[in-house]
Amino acid sequence: MNSIGGSFENAMKFDQWRSQARLLLQQGVAPAHANWAQTPSLFTDAAPSLKPLNSPVVTADFIDLAQLVSCVRDPDRWSLLYRLIYRMNHENKNLLKVSADEDVRKADVWAKSVSRDIHKMHAFVRFKKAEINGRETYVAWHKPEHQCLELAAPFFVRRFGDKPWSIFTPDLSAHWNLEELSFSKGIPQNEFEHSDSFDEVWTTYYKSIFNPARLKIKMMKTEMPVKYWSSMPESAIIQELIRETPKRLQNMAEAPRFLAEVPETNDWQVLREAAKSCKACPLAGHATQTVFGEGNLNANLMIVGEQPGDEEDKSGKIFAGPAGHILSQALEHAGIDRESVYITNAVKHFKWIPQEKERIHKKANGREMQACKPWLEAEIARVQPKAILALGITAGTALYGRLVNIQKERGQFNHESPFAPTLSISWHPAAILRAPTPEQYAKRMEELVSDIRKLNRVPGPKIL
């Protein structure tokens, strides 16, 4: 069995506890006679044998609970776990379902506390680029409340498995070398001295999302506990943002609502140039450029996606990344030349959050969608398509004026839209790329191709 627990020494103690607990159960030693503070002599010669068990029953629920409880910084955790497993074997095999039981309640409280701590670690670890032994590596220092690094580390293997990294804590350190996850002794924070230019990105991002109108200091400290601030680059500006909150609230109250300044013209080139300087929402300040629609300005079919991705933001071209390749394939399978349709997005700027050295797509909110809508309406007015296909929830919400359910609504035609005689919705190509199985991928791709083909054949009456 894999070792579980806090520091390197405690991980070994947990393995020893499991083997000794099994031995004690087999000999029928009651919890009151087991001394977990002393090893290897965990019970005295005078300890009575009560109901010896040849094969103690250990349930999966207990193992899951024990993995979490073993991380708690309390020496009584071992005694508590033994009491539970002893009572499950001698009193009630369903003891863990008795939430009113004192031992069960205490174990649940501890387990939930450790689970929250693991979640905090996943959220607040900040990797920094370093060169170790001539190799590019990513390192981070974090101080968890419990000794839970071994339970938290597999998440980072799944999320960042393509990069070598190390996470250091005061108790234990985790290392991933692209092949194996290993552990060594921890280090104090004063021995971790690494800086990274990407720290500034975290700071800029946090400053951009800070909303003074929603500032609740107590809640903020609950969600982002002060004890983690020292290892988080963005925390350096928190006090500054708090001090500036009254002034920023006043400025927000006095500031006019921003509206996209869309010129009254049917000239697509003028519209495109004007959109480049749009400041109707904050997204423009963090994107590389505006990504306007493109294609046949007299197209019968308009396809509306959600927003630009990383590659589109850099190139300025609509649907140029992996999702764009899927869309091109779908159009080809539907027998439609991509250049014969007009393709655009409901939101014109790339919204992202930093993650390591990458910019990760983040869904646009209602205000950002609304700010961009005049540009989308101007494109529709210029092209005057007979049919519009919305790809994804963001595009569907912008065009239907409500939250849509793609699973239920795709393939259906809406002939009462103010934007075109026929409106329909289908899978966004990114949702096809994220399909959990090859079968789901093929099914969604087939449905997108079918929706494009049907909509192209049933465009509705000509717009005058």
For residue 341, pLDDT beyond 90: yes
Q: What is the mean pLDDT of residues 39-59?
A: 61
Judged against a pLDDT cut of 60, whether residue 373 lies above it is answered with yes
pTM of the model: 0.48
CA distances for 337 relative to 67, 220, 303, 421, angstroms: 56, 51, 13, 22
Q: How does DSSP assign 179-232, residue by residue?
A: S-EEEEE---GGG-----TTHHHHHHHHHHH--GGG--HHHHHHHS-GGGGGG-
Structure confidence at residue 133 (pLDDT): 65
Q: What is the CATH class of 268-457?
A: alpha beta
Domain segments of the chain as ranges: 1-194, 199-254, 268-457
Task: Fill in the DSSP letter of residue 171.
Answer: S
Tens digit of each residue's pLDDT (9 = 90 or more) over 2-22: 333 333 344 446 677 788 888
pLDDT score of 211 more than 70: no
What is the rounded CA–CA span in Å between residue 147 and residue 169? 9
Tokens 């789901």 sit on residue: 440
pLDDT, averaged across the chain = 80
Helix (H, G, I), strand (E, B) or coil at 425: strand
Please say if the pLDDT value at position 202 is more than 50: no
For 81, the token pair is 């776990």
Q: Kindly tell me the sign of the dihedral angle through the C-alpha atoms of 371, 372, 376, 378.
A: positive
pLDDT at 153 over 60: yes
In total, the chain counts a number of residues equal to 464
Is the CB of residue 82 less than 8 Å from the CB of residue 24? yes
User: In Å, what is the CA distance from 238 to each residue of 205, 214, 233, 286?
Assistant: 12, 14, 10, 20
